[in-house]
Amino acid sequence: MVESEEGSVDGGRRQQSGIMRFLSSLLWAALLIEQVLGEYGMAHFSDGGSSKGKDYCIFFNSQWARLPQDLSKAARLQTYDLTTSVLCSPSDVPEGGFPNSIPMVMRGNCTFYEKVRLAQINGAKGLLIVSKDRLTPPSGNKSQYEEIGIPVALLSYKDMLDISKTFGEKRQVAMYAPKEPVVDYNMVLIFLMAVGTVAVGGYWAGSRDIKKRYMKHKRDDGAEKQDEETVDVTPIMICVFVVMCCSMLVLLYFFYDHLVYMTIATFCLASAVGLYSCLWPFVRRIPFGKCRIPENNLPYCHKRPQVRTLILSAFCIAVSVTWGVFRNEDQWAWILQDALGIAFCLYMLKTIRLPTFKACTLLLVVLFVYDVFFVFITPLLTESGESIMVEVAAGPSDSSTHEKLPMVLKVPRLNSSPLVLCDRPFSLLGFGDILVPGLLVAYCHRFDILMQTSRIYFLACTIGYGIGLLITFVALALMQMGQPALLYLVPCTLLTSLAVALWRKELPLFWTGSGFVEGFGVNLRNKTVISNVCNCS
């Protein structure tokens, strides 16, 4: 349903826009097919005559009137506080009008055009509409755009309260829209973290899996044995997993405020386990703390674990709890979240095992469809026209908790941008975009060791992942909208692995995973498997 104040944007135009966005993304178009109506900008408020001020996020439509890109070129005008009114009729206009000023009025009761027309007739040089709801593009039709010559923008109600508290009655405002950088430097950090996690996780998982099968040795405690356990994924498990993902995503979309805390608690627990799994191979080399605790009846301690395992467990839990308590400290909490997230991804890549390329293909193709559907198709099905995936990943703007899901790598924007002020200060990459291709990379590494191929499958698939991630970033920069990363990552990794198998004429073995399922005490194509696997523990 479209609110009355959004002008003449009807359901048909919204549906057409969504379809065009979907097709353009599939074709990797260089430009958007339909012009974006909503743009982020800044409103710089200051007290009269003061050089100091503060920027606030605004959402405007350049089809009404364009804003300058530099603050120095923007006119500083007096504001007129009319937030007790919605400015929908001439009776709402004060005596004398708004000569050379920018009124601030509340949203509601009439269209954007009616508000800005009354403001322009009465001498206003711009209009700020205060909204308690989501900031939507102040749209109109072509004739209305031609009639209006002053800028109109939406300002959040929360920012309006802060403005009233911070500045006096003679406050001034200058509206401007700095140019968005095509690519933010934080993408380099996300790229390095993602590719590094996939490479390290795939290498570690493959080496540990082969070593476990070939080298039977005594383990000094139960902790290491537990650390080496793996779970083979079956087609039924893949189907159940995808159904659970779809259900959870839809539930989060409708009941975000109720389920977000459960997700945060789950992440704290899972990331602590993952961090322990990643640090234990280093801690076990320390020659201290090998003594065991005295006999006791305490839970989880009756087997008398080593002192160093208890210290490591306490450390991992402390790191996870620290993030949980200070997760909303944007200046530094993202570093802890990324470290815990990488540890979690490495643990999952080491634990979950795809036994055949057939299983890899099934998982990646099904999740490819899942990702594309929830990013590009769901805007046609939701009332707001927003993507379910993007809304859940970034956190709904109308959420009362203002919590964000932690299942993403996040890096703050390093370039000056209005998005930093507009509740989008981070670039995000979901864990699924690391784990799903990473499982294929791990399979390739195991096959490399089995076939003694100098890790050609592993390297090719890892490079394919990096190329797919770069294509994702290019698509994001060109289309200026959230992208389903698996749309690019799945073809790049699957096709690369398939091409290597065809080139080496090993597709039947690669497809069925021969040697993984039946055991490794066989010779394949007259090749004897050598068991001197690298000790990566």
In-domain check, residue 43: yes
| pTM (two decimals) | 0.73
Question: Which residues are 58's β-sheet partners?
Answer: 41, 155
361, amino acid identity: T
Dihedral angle sign, alpha carbons of residues 113, 114, 119, 123: positive
DSSP 111-132: -HHHHHHHHHHTT-S-EEEEES
Contact between 182 and 498 (Cβ < 8 Å): no
Q: Are residues 358 and 502 in the same domain?
A: yes
CA atoms within 13 A of residue 453's CA, in its CB half-sphere: 22
Catalytic residue selected from 184, 227, 433, 448 = 433
Q: How far apart are alpha carbons 45 and 334 in whole angstroms?
A: 29
Q: Are residues 250 and 101 in the same domain?
A: no
In-domain check, residue 275: yes
Catalytic residue selected from 220, 371, 398, 423 = 371
Question: Which residues are 428's β-sheet partners?
Answer: 410
In-domain check, residue 293: no
Q: What is the pLDDT of residue 314?
A: 92
Question: Which residues are 47's β-sheet partners?
Answer: 171
Contact between 462 and 535 (Cβ < 8 Å): no
Q: Which two tokens stand for residue 256?
A: 């975000």
Q: Are residues 167 and 190 in the same domain?
A: no
Query: In the chain, how many domains are there?
Result: 2
Catalytic, 448? Answer no
Structural domain harbouring 110: 39-176
176, 197, 215 - which closes a domain: 176
Q: What is the pLDDT of residue 65?
A: 81
CATH code of residue 140: 3.50.30.30
CA distances from 88 to 3, 59, 129, 277, 341 (A): 15, 20, 12, 62, 50
pLDDT in tens, the chain (537 residues): 323 333 333 344 344 444 444 333 333 332 222 333 467 888 888 887 666 788 888 888 887 788 888 888 888 888 888 888 888 888 888 888 888 888 888 888 888 888 888 888 888 888 888 888 776 667 777 777 888 888 888 888 888 888 888 887 788 888 888 877 666 778 889 999 999 999 999 998 877 766 565 554 444 444 444 445 678 888 899 999 999 999 999 999 889 988 999 999 999 999 999 999 999 989 888 887 677 766 666 666 666 677 888 899 999 999 999 999 999 887 889 999 999 999 999 999 988 988 899 999 999 999 999 999 998 888 888 877 778 888 888 777 677 787 888 999 988 877 666 666 675 678 888 899 999 999 999 999 989 888 887 889 999 999 999 999 999 988 887 876 778 899 999 999 999 999 999 999 999 999 987 655 444 444 444 444 333 333 333
Q: What is the pLDDT of residue 522?
A: 41
In-domain check, residue 433: yes
In-domain check, residue 315: no
Q: What is the pLDDT of residue 224?
A: 44
Q: Are residues 360 and 437 in the same domain?
A: yes
Q: Are residues 252 and 336 in the same domain?
A: yes
Q: Are residues 405 and 328 in the same domain?
A: yes
In-domain check, residue 94: yes
Q: Are residues 413 and 355 in the same domain?
A: yes
Catalytic, 162? Answer no
176, 211, 239 - which closes a domain: 176
Q: What is the pLDDT of residue 325?
A: 94
Q: Are residues 46 and 140 in the same domain?
A: yes
Q: Are residues 229 and 153 in the same domain?
A: no
Q: Are residues 171 and 212 in the same domain?
A: no
In-domain check, residue 9: no
Classified as helix, coil or strand, 309 is: helix
In-domain check, residue 239: yes
Q: Are residues 123 and 225 in the same domain?
A: no
Q: How far apart are alpha carbons 474 and 230 in whole angstroms?
A: 36
DSSP 512: H
Q: Are residues 217 and 122 in the same domain?
A: no
